[in-house]
Structure 1
Amino acid sequence: MRVVFGDGTLAQLPEEAERLGMGRILVLSTPEQKDQAADIAARLGTLAVGLFDRATMHTPVDITEQALAVVQSLNVDGVVSVGGGSTTGLGKAIALRTDLPQIAVPTTYAGSEMTPILGETKNGEKITLRTPKVLPETTIYDVSLTLSLPPAISATSGMNAIAHAVEALYAEERNPIISLMAEEAIKALAKALPIIVADPHDRDARHQALYGAWLCGIALGSVGMALHHKLCHVLGGSFNLPHAPTHTVVLPHAVAYNAAGAPEAMRRIASALGAENAAQGLYDLSRRLGAPLSLAEIGMREADIEQAVTQAAARPYPNPRPLETAALRRLLQNAFAGKPPQEEQA
């Protein structure tokens, strides 16, 4: 992948599109970012032949099918995804089915643009696959595009990014290079996010956050993830909880669950946060940012906890600690109530 990073780099979009041989581009966005996507389509001039503004979180297959119909009707030969993980996911889903080239233009800290991973939702279940086919050919990071990201969304988007780096530090396939990047990413975001919440137009902080998110995305795409991401996929795919806030709420509790099984990762996380304890440090950072602390406040029903536990434990996957139903239930009950994280014994 080619990465263009800086401030004002969106000006290079037409050049990047032509370099990839794109002549009939479909610009993708969520409904909320339609105006921003339309402005970016205007920058492309005659290269842009359409705008599809129905990207949706968790990448529902039916939305992808609608977008594919537009791709076919307009004879599209490339897509530009403008936004966060929802739009990037749609671009990936299109690429998976058509092999069309993609340019990702992130406006959040989701990190999906740096990964060969696609999560799609169908019939109330989120399925994840990993293939190089879904990697964008180019990602353009432009700090100026993040200045309008509201503080509340910046906070949860940034915590979502941190989750990628945290799990990379105790991933089964972890390696020294990715661990260095992950620790640096946590440090950059933990420093930048409180400044952004206080002053959303602080360009230096926005630069640091976008840099950290880029590193988090690389970490997510390079090694496998564990319990935290599994839980968030279950909660998002089955109960339609919002993606980034779900990651924000669950992360301290998943880290507490795994603390005894990954002491070196915990030390590095705590160090990057400037905290004594990794799980509590993440919880305190969320609270400082004014981010949600409980699953209840983002729309989960207490009655759904048991189903979530069953689904999370259903398929084995690598994790520093074995998955135990009773412990998972305690984790989700604490996260539902917004209690401080409680470490489990190995």
Structure 2
Amino acid sequence: MEKITICLWQNSVSPHQIPYIKHLNHGKNVRSVILIVPQLLSANREKLGWSKNFDADTFELIIAPNKDKIREIYTQNTNSIHLFSGIRANQWIFDCFKSSLAFPNLKRGIITEGPLTYKKPLMLHKIRFLIQDYRYVRHYNYVFAIGEDAENYYKSWSSHWKVIPFAYCVDENRTLAKLELSPLIKLLFVGNLTERKNVKLILQALKTCKNKALFHLSIVGDGDQREMLETYVKSNNLDQQVSFKGSSPINQIPKIMDEHDCLILPSVHDGWGAVVNEGLHAGLYVLCSDRCGAKALLSDSERGLIFKSNNTQNLVKSLQDIEGKISEIRSNRPKRQAWSEKSIGGQAIAEYLVSCLTSNTLPKAPWKIDNK
């Protein structure tokens, strides 16, 4: 078959997509890979510690192209497939997509999470999609749906496009943490301290735990709920069980994870939750709410547990499960790291994406294969 050019239109260079993008050009069916962004990083993402330093040797990076350059990308790359990320979250991406419609023979796809149903019900999202987006469905060949909710949502709209399970991807953590022998079970939360992330649920669960002295929670991140959470910790005598670490640069997170046993993501809504990928790459055991797309990575209880969103007792039960098998959890740390490299590492996701674009039949997502 003729080799393809993969053109990725994204709002900035993302550490949750670069790890697979840099491997896309390694396959025999790919001629070249082009990443097109309006800016390297937004100011907000720089504040979060996202790095501008990355390896771009295997793809072409185009920053803020003008209209002539955009037209050139569409016309001079034969047998190209254009994948747009965040098409409704970023006006520049949407404008680039609309300009592609002048070239009817192009193949297109989107990489997308499902609707954010945290504050707006699904029906409102469906009404908006029907009014604003349904007209464009026929112009897409592929939907790379991030999370099961996204997969089900986009399948419900049309059989015209191929809806393909997809996932975010992070750099692998090749450091093998030493086996922890301490009786203290070290829990970790990493992320923004906002209502949607629902960190208070972890505190409520620790307060309820019969053996709370066996646990210590490190909270890495900042946000508008920090003061409220600190007050809750003090008023409920959890000072010995909880530490607030503040924000940390993204490149320091793997080192922090190496010092913990278990990651908890209690969000009331997360389209994915790439911190789960980071945790698994570090070998952590993961507790994740059922409202996070990344729950798809926890189909095997050796990797983690899924608890009901906003349900304190269900999270308490999960903590009790950890307490009862902490030695096994710690000894299986290298096993989780090995699984992560094979199943959600950059090369695995890249090979999967290319196969989806070039094969007559869709392959199984690598994280859904039994790679024990």
Could you tell me the TM-score, scaled by structure 2's length? 0.30
Could you say which structure has the higher helix fraction? 1
Structure 1 or 2: more strand by fraction: 2
Structure ID, larger Rg? 2
